[in-house]
Structure 1
Amino acid sequence: MDWINITNAAINGIVLGLLLALPALAVTLVFGIARFPHAAVGDYMTFGAYTAILVQSFMSASLVAAALIASAATAFLSLFFYAWVFRSLSQRSPVSSLIASIGVAFAVRSVITFFAGQSQYVIEAPLVRAWNFSGVRILPTDLYVAATAVLALAAVFFMLHFTAFGRRMRAVADNPELAAASGIRVREVMITLSVIVGAFCGLGGMLMGFKAVVLPELGWELILPIFASVILGGIGSPVGAVCGMILFGISQEIASLYVGASYKLVLAFVVLLLVLLIRPQGMFGKIIAVR
């Protein structure tokens, strides 16, 4: 296998990894702050993709407007399910929230299937010619997707580390009881977290529409790689989630050169297992002593 094919596969893997880093970061934030793995993020992505298609079909809006509306609509959906489902489960076992999130995922997917059916859709984008550098091909569309994902990720990291609200979020993640005793409004943090989760998943779903055909199962089929990347990077580490997803994406695309698209996910999980054998806590995770 020549280096040109490997380079092209790696570029595709980086773009895919940056795109899926949006829902992966959402999963990490929920796990770090709300203390449960949110299984509905994949179907939130699907909702965002269908919203963008709907906006394009009936409003003839630009891609930027479609992305903004898809993000806002999915943020509202996430906030709705927080208020209706997850807020009442916040004092119960994380398993209860996990099972509820699976139920939310099925509910969202069922509603989408009821209205949209199983027909295949695509997000309309201008046709562009790939740039060719001695066999290395780069699509301008992929650059736009990657740049959008990077800007969104950078905005959240800036908020987490350089704003007062980000410090409150990290305080709730470290110790919610102490944060509440210190005067931090935990519910306000949870509401904002739900908005971020929805906005990121909606944007990620819309961007995924550039790379794949949109079906009701689009996001559900991605939930396993997303969870695996969070584990690979280190559970609860935002930087780890992003880096883990990029490594996972590159592994998948390069693996497809050797075993075909049907088995690329298997070899990507082999990479995950090898990394965890060397570093069980993940690339950026911390070892926590249990007494």
Structure 2
Amino acid sequence: MDLVFSDFLNLALNGLAEGLLVALPALAVTLVFGVARFPNAAVGDFVSLGSFGALTAHRLSGGSMLAAGVGAVAAGMAGTWLAWRLAFAPLLRRKGLALLLTSIGVGFVLRAAMGLGFGHEIKLFDLPPMRAWRWGALIVNPLDVAVGGMSLACVLLVFALLRFTSVGRTMRAIADDMDLARVVGIDSRAAMTRMWLLSGVVCGVAGLAYGLKTQVSPESGADLLLPAFAAAVVGGLGNPLGAVLGAIGLGILQELSTPFVGFTYKIALSYVAMLLVLLWRPQGLFGRVQGVR
């Protein structure tokens, strides 16, 4: 097999696009884990909900992408807020296993509700045909650029909110030490509510991006769940930057390995990488070792 530098560059660009797409649900996973301390297995279903919100708004508005974005974010926020109020808030003092099982149940309920409301057939955005951009041997899909730019903008906005606003500071304080945060007067339930709403925004944008890139169905977001968890674990659960970098790194690794292991087995490479990272650094590449008292 003759491979030249341009081939690897094209594969790396494809991997970057895939990584940015997975980075959003991975960020949602790590936001919930960092504050609420449990792995949210319903993330993929919140992404599907965002996809349906985007598609519905896109069609009702006559094809407006701005309306699709608003619909996606509104659907994601509504879904996560309702899940928090009805399912997770009553179990706030339970251990992580109870919350994990609850999130699995929430995912099934969401999937069934979307199936009843929209049907299980695959739906697509009505997009105009796009020609790939070419610079010599370099090939770039304009849709990848749009989706990647959207994902990157969302990630940067979340990082700015966490770093520079009082909302972000209270969420980080809860993530560091919930008991101490309560002692100094931080309302943990209000911080949790904001975290779930922020997670809904991220899932909504992910739903729009994934729907544009692939398809929309009640089950479509579930395809992102395992890659998102792998990225979050590799980067370090609870570390937003680690989740994003883990997603990008695994995306590029998968695509660069395609000529050697084939399309079928490249996905397994992410989980092999995750296992190796766990054996070497159980807290993830960017995670911190936490003591237990």
Normalised by the size of structure 2, how large is the TM-score?
0.94
- 2:257 is aligned with what amino acid? A
RMSD: 1.6
Q: Which residue number corresponds to residue 219 of structure 1?
A: 221
Task: Work out whether residues 234 and 274 of structure 2, in 8 Å CA contact, stay in contact via their aligned partners in 1.
Answer: yes
Q: Distance in 2 between matches of 1:181 and 1:280?
A: 31
Structure 1 stretches (4+) deviating beyond 6 angstroms?
none
Q: Which residue number corresponds to residue 211 of structure 2?
A: 209
Q: Which residue number corresponds to residue 234 of structure 2?
A: 232
- 2:195 is aligned with what amino acid? L
1:157 aligns with 2:162: no
Q: Which residue number corresponds to residue 141 of structure 2?
A: 139
- 1:180 is aligned with what amino acid? R
**Counterpart mapping for 1:247-258 below 5 A:** 247-258=249-260
**Aligned residues between the structures:** 291
- 1:208 is aligned with what amino acid? Y
Q: Distance in 2 between matches of 1:261 and 1:220?
A: 20
Equivalent of 2:62, from 41, 60, 80? 60
Percent identical pairs in the alignment equals: 41
Q: Which residue number corresponds to residue 272 of structure 1?
A: 274
Equivalent of 1:13, from 15, 29, 37? 15
1:103 aligns with 2:105: yes
Q: Distance in 1 between matches of 2:175 and 2:21?
A: 25
Q: Distance in 2 between matches of 1:184 and 1:15?
A: 38
Task: Work out whether residues 42 and 222 of structure 1, in 8 Å CA contact, stay in contact via their aligned partners in 2.
Answer: yes
Normalised by the size of structure 1, how large is the TM-score?
0.94
**Counterpart mapping for 1:189-204 below 5 A:** 189-204=191-206
**Counterpart mapping for 1:36-55 below 5 A:** 36-55=38-57
More displaced stretch, 114-123 vs 81-90 = 114-123
Q: CA deviation at 1:290?
A: 4.8
Residue 90 of structure 2 aligns to a residue in which SS?
A: coil
Residue 202 of structure 2 aligns to a residue in which SS?
A: helix
Gaps of 5+ in 1: none
Residue 217 of structure 2 aligns to a residue in which SS?
A: coil
Q: Deviations over 1:28-66 (max 9, x none)?
A: 111110111111010111111122122222331411220
- 1:173 is aligned with what amino acid? A
Q: CA deviation at 1:128?
A: 2.3
Gaps of 5+ in 2: none
- 1:276 is aligned with what amino acid? L
Given the superposition, is the C-alpha separation of residues 235 and 49 from structure 1 closer, same or farther in structure 2, using an over 3 Å criterion?
same
